[in-house]
Amino acid sequence: MSLEKQDLAAPAPSDFIRDIVAGHVAEKKYPQIHTRFPPEPNGYLHIGHAKSICLNFGIAHEFGGVCNLRMDDTNPAKEDIEYVESIQADVNWLIGGWAEKELGLTPAKAPFYASDYFDQIYEFAVALIKKGKAFVCDLTPDQTDEYRRAGKASPFRDRSVEENLDLFTRMKAGEFPDGSRVLRAKIIVDAPNIWLRDPLLYRIKRADHHQTGDKWCIYPMYDFAHCLSDYLEGITHSICTLEFEVHRPLYDWILENLDLPKTLPHQYEFARLSLGYTVMSKRKLMQLVEEKLVTGWDDPRMPTISGIRRRGVTPEALRNFAYNIGITKYNGITDVSVLEHAIREDLNKRSLRRLAVLRPLKIVITNVPAGHVEELDAVNNPEDETAGKRKIPFSRELFIERDDFQEVPPPKFFRLKPGGEVRLKYAYIIKCDEVVKDASGHITELRCTADLDSKTGGATSARKVKGTIHWVSAAHAVDAEVRLYDRLFTVPEPDADGDFRQHLNPHSLEVLTAKLEPSLKDATAATRYQFERLAYFALDKDSGNNLIFNRTITLKDTWAKEAHKAS
């Protein structure tokens, strides 16, 4: 099924950025629309980045354009090849197959690097110096801040072009210590917009760069490198988040003051994604990883693309989410239930239904002889006829969910109780005759009888009972570690007040040994499963001979139910 095509092609979303692009296409302003997604390789991508990826690649697709993946790698001190590789893997997972088919692009295999332009960016800096529009400044970082805040001119502002050229060349040659000098644009010392107050263009920093090694000891600042990288790649629409709106005059100033021959790119801003019950800044995610509050960047509780993938979410579900939330100019918090809804909708369609018992309670069907095994038919996916059926073994000793039996049941308890009846899914109606306990009063097994005329789908199965529960055959069950993940934080805005770590959910992970129906021995990483009546599950990447399943998401929103109860 071409889900990939379907979810990105139609109906094309509409928002203010797409309206702008559509206007430009109508007036043939550019030969081709060209966007980019420019992550800094200083951490793993998160779901906010997914929104940006879908926007930029989506626009390229809808308007017959191109989109570049570009590593915005101008700050070697914080960057690492590990992050370059994780970004490639994550972009490839999210849109790789789609982009190749729809755009003829393999963005993750051939990313662009801002560092590839260091020579040209250096020459642009020289050009600004020659035009008297940049100067070398010897103020300390603290003094520079102080002067800029006060709207005061640097005492080095009026250096001659010759002196600036000489000093800048020597900065590049490594004659000065780190941080001792910078190159600054000469714009307006007391501009209302602080970004125009002679902003920094280059700094001295001896750091090994993951792409350029030790070739450079000066590195361009983000604001200088970004607009020029956009220009050099022929970007038409440089789309970023709202906090860059105040940088836009600087973006334009740099490009407009270099007498550039090609068409200039323009910057457009949209509201970043903030999602409830999580934190999104790379700094905070890094803190969770470094303080071992999670197992790594790809911990299934993390809002990173790699965490979301490991949890079992599909790229289609994440892309649908990114499309559904829309693009606006207003910052707000997206309810996490919107994401969870997209995940459930996707998994409901594709998951194979399986029987599994998380907290086993043994039952013995006393009127089924020992050694008797019967193969019963079970439906693989009621949402998809083509998924077919499978056989599940039924025998004398079974496991059911401990929760599905109550010795002293509350009213309207339609599962198993002493003397009560329940249907075993795909099998028979059973009756609980006896509760067996150990010396301490703990229930060790139930003794039941099956109504052998009540087989599901059988000629005499018409009799109905109110409850149906899941089960597995004890002798045939396979053991698996199941990891029950829940939200990482207990409040919608963990970073609204004080230390976000105080809101970590102490119950965000529970690990159990479950009993699974035997067909799950052959579970594959590419398949999604619904353990019936429980939740959606996917194999963990570390699953091997010992099966490990991650709970991707519960069948229903238990948080909404809790919130409802509380109010």
User: Active-site residues: which are they?
Assistant: 40, 272, 282
E strands, 366-498, in order: 374-379, 389-394, 397-401, 421-424, 429-437, 443-451, 468-469, 471-473, 478-485
Parallel, antiparallel, or unpaired for β 468-469 and 421-424?
parallel
Is 52 an interacting residue with respect to ligand ATP (CB under 6 A)?
Answer: yes
Question: How many chain residues interact with ligand ATP (CB under 6 A)?
Answer: 14
Which amino acid, 183? L
CB 122 within 8 A of CB 172: yes
Burial class (CB in 10 A: 0-12, 13-18, 19+), 212: middle
Among 7, 35, 39, 449, which residue sits at the site for ligand ATP (rule: CB under 6 A)? 39
* CB nearer ligand ATP, residue 85 or residue 479: 85
Query: Measured from the CB of residue 472, what is the shortest distance to ligand ATP in angstroms?
Result: 42
CB 443 within 8 A of CB 435: yes
Give strand pairing partners of 241.
Answer: 270
Q: Residue 203: CB partners within 8 Å, gap ≥ 6?
A: 179, 182, 218, 219, 221
Among 282, 390, 476, 551, which residue sits at the site for ligand ATP (rule: CB under 6 A)? 282
Is 240 an interacting residue with respect to ligand ATP (CB under 6 A)?
Answer: yes
Among 273, 336, 376, 484, which residue sits at the site for ligand ATP (rule: CB under 6 A)? 273
Q: Residue 314: CB partners within 8 Å, gap ≥ 6?
A: 346, 347, 350, 528
Task: Tell me, letter by letter, the H, E, C secondary structure of 76-132.
Answer: CCCCCHHHHHHHHHHHHHHHHHHHHHHHCCCCCCCCEEHHHHHHHHHHHHHHHHHCC
* CB nearer ligand ATP, residue 186 or residue 247: 247
The CA-atom distances, in angstroms, between 19 and each of 23, 25, 62, 65, 260 are: 6, 10, 12, 15, 27
Query: Measured from the CB of residue 7, what is the shortest distance to ligand ATP in angstroms?
Result: 19
DSSP structure string for 245-265: GGGHHHHHHHHHTTT-SSPPP
Q: Which stretch binds ligand ATP (CB under 6 A): 48-56, 227-235, 256-264, 381-389?
A: 48-56
Is 107 an interacting residue with respect to ligand ATP (CB under 6 A)?
Answer: no
* CB nearer ligand ATP, residue 242 or residue 293: 242
Is 303 an interacting residue with respect to ligand ATP (CB under 6 A)?
Answer: no
* CB nearer ligand ATP, residue 272 or residue 349: 272
The CA-atom distances, in angstroms, between 287 and each of 47, 290, 291, 295, 296 are: 17, 5, 6, 12, 10
Q: Which stretch binds ligand ATP (CB under 6 A): 36-44, 188-196, 226-234, 348-356?
A: 36-44
Which amino acid, 336? V
* CB nearer ligand ATP, residue 317 or residue 357: 317
Is 49 an interacting residue with respect to ligand ATP (CB under 6 A)?
Answer: yes
DSSP state of 387: G
Could you give phi then psi for residue 491, rounded to 5 degrees?
-125, 155
Among 212, 263, 281, 461, which residue sits at the site for ligand ATP (rule: CB under 6 A)? 281
Among 143, 212, 241, 527, which residue sits at the site for ligand ATP (rule: CB under 6 A)? 241
Is 48 an interacting residue with respect to ligand ATP (CB under 6 A)?
Answer: yes
Query: Measured from the CB of residue 110, what is the shortest distance to ligand ATP in angstroms?
Result: 18
* CB nearer ligand ATP, residue 43 or residue 420: 43
Is 51 an interacting residue with respect to ligand ATP (CB under 6 A)?
Answer: yes
Query: Measured from the CB of residue 566, what is the shortest distance to ligand ATP in angstroms?
Result: 29
Say how far apart CA 89 and CA 96 lie, in whole Å.
9
Is 280 an interacting residue with respect to ligand ATP (CB under 6 A)?
Answer: yes
Q: Which stretch binds ligand ATP (CB under 6 A): 4-12, 46-54, 315-323, 336-344?
A: 46-54
* CB nearer ligand ATP, residue 52 or residue 449: 52
Binding positions for ligand ATP, rule: CB under 6 A: 38-40, 48-49, 51-52, 240-241, 272-273, 280-282
